[in-house]
Structures are given as C-alpha cells and as structure tokens.
C-alpha cells in the first residue's frame, strides 16, 4: 500500500498540532521580578513600565510561586494596559501555567475580550489546547470561554478561527464500525483511523453523518463515537478538526447531542433537518436549526443541506438568509446538493466569505470551483473518498485555489483528477456508499468489520471481493493521475 503522506498547508490545522511551551519551574525571584509580578496583579501599568525601563534585562516571563507569569495575572484579572506593557517587553504569549493554560486561555475564561483581542493581535495562538488535567479534556481558548459562558469572546475567536482556514481543505465523513452479527458498536480502531486520515492530509472529520449511519445510532452511541474521536485527536496531538453531526428527528435529542458536543470539545456542530416531519419552509427549517445551534452557543454551527435524503424543497440560500440573523455561531454549511444556482446565491449573500460552504458530492466539485474563484473563497469539502483517496483531494484543492493558472489549464487539470472520483462513483453505485466505504477502510487496514447496521443490507462476500479488486485499480489510477497532474508549487 502506498504510504505517501500529505503535509497540511493551512495555518489553522498546523497550529492545532503544535505543543504548548511549558513554563519552566518557578525559581527564586529577584526583588525586581517579584515587583513586576505584583504590579501586574495590581494593574499598575505606569509603574510597571518604569520598572522595565530601570531593569531592561529583566525577564518578563518570570514565574511566581504558583507558576504564573505577570502576563498571565494581567490577562486573568483584566488589566489590559499592563498586558500591553508586558507584550511590548517581549513577554511570551503562549507559555503555559501548571494547569496547561496560556494567557489567552485565562483571559478567555474570565471574559476579558479587550485582552483577548490584544493577545491575538500580537500573535497569541488561538489553536493551542490546554493540557489534560484530571478528567477534563484539553480545550482551546474559545472552548474554555464557551465552558464559562463568555459568548462575546467565543464569537470573536470563532471569526478568527475561520479566518485562519478552519474549514479549508477536506473533511472525511467517517464510518461507524459494528461487530459482525451482533451489530454492537466498535470504537477500538478510531485512534488508528485518525492517524491514517491526518497522514494523508485530511483536515477534519464529519462524525455521525450519513456515512456514519447516524440515524441507526442511539444518542448514547453517538456520544461514544464523538468522545472516542476527540480523545484520539487529543492523546495523539493530531491537527484534526472534529465536526459532530447531531441532526435527529427529535429536536430535544438534537439539542442534547449539540450540548454534549460542546461539553467534550468538538470543534463544530452540524445539523440536518428532520426527514419524517419536514419543515414546510426555510423559516421553519431555520427555527429548528437555531434551537440546536443555541444548545452549543460557543461552538461553530454548520447546516447540513441534503435535499436528496430529506426530500424537501427548501433552498439553502433561503435558509441562510434567515439563519445569518438568528444563529450567532453560524459557520456555514455542508452542501450535499447539485443545485448550482442555490450555491451561487449563497456566495452572493456572503460577499465577505464569512461562512464556509462545503460541497458534499465529490464527483461534482468542479461545478463549484468557478463560484469560489470568482468570490475569492477557498475550497473546502466533505467527501467519502477523503477517507482513503485524500491525496487526490489534496492535489485538487491546491489547483482549485491556485490564482496564477489560466482558467483552461486549471479546469483541465481538475477534470483529470475528477476522472478517478467518477470511477469510484461507479463502484459506489454498484455496492452502496456505506458498504464501499467499509470495504475500503478494511482494505487499508483500519476497519475490522464491514458490517452495516439494519435496516441497511450488508454487501455479499462476492461483492466485497469485487470491490477490493476495484479499489486496487483506483489506487493505481490515482498514482498515475497524480504523476501527470503536478502540484502548482512544484
């Protein structure tokens, strides 16, 4: 099996995998350093500035007996002017205290938005995660703010996360694995699954979506799957965005899942509208999703538009027009639709590219590239093939986002890459999307079982063997196409 890897190019995921710089153990402070920390605690910025002028070689990162720096004290207590003085003195913005918290995390926890803005302006990382303390999962500054109900801080940091490319690149809609015959949920392979995805350049995962057989899962099972993905990401320190799809027939259940997702540290929540009692209009659809988004108010919210499944006539652009005013944590949409005019209308409604629109039908990605290019929108998508053929998508996005290629050259290259995707589509048509995904993940050594949960029908051994043969051909074709369609940067 080809073991080539893809290197993340987005600043956001790369920063997520970065280790915090642990503060050194506190040492005996000089009189001046003790005074520095006391002045920072007390908010005496002018006296602090004079002290730093008097002792220009003094260490601005000196630690007190609690392992806290002056900047940490100033950030936690809301002393913006003091924080500014220490930043000008080259205080380390990302050093962590004994509890694994940075100055930004302390300011976010206490809701000091002006200090959060100051720290971010001067380069504090918004993507570092606190270290694990007891049973508390690591969190980013935004997630810590959400935990403490500081929503103004959350909204500011959400905007900055999106600006850094949080949803740029490929998101893999993950499968759910079940034991053969018993159909009990299996989570033991998720850590290996996560490593595999990151190795091939996947930006994030879309958990408990259509490929994950979400509507066959109980609430408890969906929570277990999400927690397993988050724990694998955190323990392995992987640069992986985790999106929890929480859509249910029951509004109460969807809200419970959204609340849980925020609690355990999911990066985003996605929700599709019910498929049985369907909303009559975009107004009702937006009202349903607004309730779900409000259950995780400090977490990015994505609408999951999938008209082929939901079988309703609601336009995504009509939903967006309402949701933009009613869902303050709105991040965008997973757009599993072939309605290009609907997509174009969404782009027109979002001229500043505030939201991420992630196409879901891989064999039609090229139809959306022109809209992205004309509006300066970077490409992001959610696609089944990202689970095992993502090197193809990495090259696709490099070309789709390239600003120097001619239109003819770009779309010729994209269509060459899409030829592999369309061949995969023919296999999916023969054996089903979920069945093919499970065969593929077993083929690459991740899944132990290809069992599908009822009412889905398992593919036969003969079909599985045929699909494996087709997979081998797909990998060979992908390698051939990648050798012909070069990266624009090469």
In this structure, what token pair is assigned to residue 46? 């002018």
Q: 390 with 170: CB under 8 angstroms?
A: yes
**3-state SS assignment for residue 227:** helix
Q: 307 with 288: CB under 8 angstroms?
A: no
* From 35, 44, 223, 334, the catalytic residue: 334
In the annotation, is 44 catalytic?
A: no
**3-state SS assignment for residue 407:** helix
Alpha-helical runs (H) found in 237-365: 251-264, 282-294, 307-310, 316-326, 340-349
Beta strand 268-271 pairing with 241-245: parallel
Distance, in Å, from the CA atom of 184 to the CA atom of 40, rounded to the nearest integer, reads: 56
Q: 42 with 113: CB under 8 angstroms?
A: no
Q: 420 with 392: CB under 8 angstroms?
A: yes
In this structure, what token pair is assigned to residue 59? 């260490």
* From 77, 139, 156, 304, the catalytic residue: 304
Q: What is the DSSP string of 164-176?
A: TTTT-EEEEE---
**3-state SS assignment for residue 281:** coil
In the annotation, is 35 catalytic?
A: no
Beta-carbon contacts of 37 under 8 Å, excluding residues fewer than 6 positions away, are 29, 62, 64, 68, 69, 70, 73
Positions marked active-site: 304, 334
């Amino acid at each position: 099996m080809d073991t080539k890897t893809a290197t993340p190019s987005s600043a956001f995921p790369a920063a997520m995998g970065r280790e915090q710089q642990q503060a050194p153990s506190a040492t005996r402070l000089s009189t001046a350093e003790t005074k520095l920390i006391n002045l920072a605690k007390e908010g005496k910025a002018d006296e602090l500035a004079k002290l730093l002028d008097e002792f220009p070689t003094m260490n601005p990162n000196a630690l007190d007996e609690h392992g806290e720096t002056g900047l940490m004290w100033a950030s936690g207590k809301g002393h913006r002017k003091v924080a500014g003085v220490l930043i000008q003195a080259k205080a380390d913005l990302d050093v962590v205290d004994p509890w694994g918290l940075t100055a930004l995390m302390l300011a976010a926890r206490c809701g000091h938005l002006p200090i959060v803005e100051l720290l971010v302006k001067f380069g504090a990382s918004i993507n570092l995660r606190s270290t694990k303390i007891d049973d508390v999962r690591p969190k980013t500054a935004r997630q810590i703010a959400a935990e403490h109900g500081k929503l103004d801080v959350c909204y500011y940091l959400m905007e900055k996360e999106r600006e850094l490319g949080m949803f740029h690149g490929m998101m893999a809609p993950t499968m759910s694995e079940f034991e053969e015959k018993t159909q009990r949920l299996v989570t033991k392979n998720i850590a290996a699954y996560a490593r595999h995805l990151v190795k091939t350049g996947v930006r994030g995962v879309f958990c408990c979506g259509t490929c994950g057989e979400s509507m066959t899962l109980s609430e408890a099972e969906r929570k277990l799957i999400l927690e397993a993905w988050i724990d694998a990401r955190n323990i392995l320190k992987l640069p992986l965005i985790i999106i929890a799809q929480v859509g249910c027939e029951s509004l109460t259940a969807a809200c419970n899942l959204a609340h849980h997702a925020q609690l355990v540290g999911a990066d985003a929540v996605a929700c599709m509208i019910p498929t049985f009692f369907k909303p009559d209009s975009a107004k009702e659809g937006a009202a349903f999703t607004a309730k779900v988004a409000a259950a995780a108010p400090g977490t990015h919210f994505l609408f999951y538009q999938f008209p082929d499944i939901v079988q309703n006539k609601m336009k995504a652009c009509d939903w967006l027009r309402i949701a933009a005013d009613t869902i303050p944590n709105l991040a965008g949409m997973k757009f599993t639709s072939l309605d290009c005019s609907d997509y174009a209308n969404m782009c027109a409604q979002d001229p500043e590219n505030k939201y991420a629109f992630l196409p879901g039908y891989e064999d039609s990605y090229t139809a959306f590239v022109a809209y992205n290019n004309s509006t300066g929108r970077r490409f992001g998508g959610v696609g089944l093939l990202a689970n095992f053929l993502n090197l193809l998508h990495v090259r696709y996005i490099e070309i789709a986002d390239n600003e120097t290629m001619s239109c003819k050259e770009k779309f010729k290259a994209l269509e060459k890459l899409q030829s592999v995707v369309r061949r995969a589509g023919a296999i999916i048509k023969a054996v089903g999307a979920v069945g093919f995904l499970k065969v593929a993940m077993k083929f690459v050594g991740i899944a132990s079982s290809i069992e599908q949960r009822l009412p889905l029908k398992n593919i036969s051994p003969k079909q599985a063997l045929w699909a494996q043969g087709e997979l081998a051909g797909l990998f060979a074709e992908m390698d051939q196409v990648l050798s012909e369609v070069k990266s624009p940067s090469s």
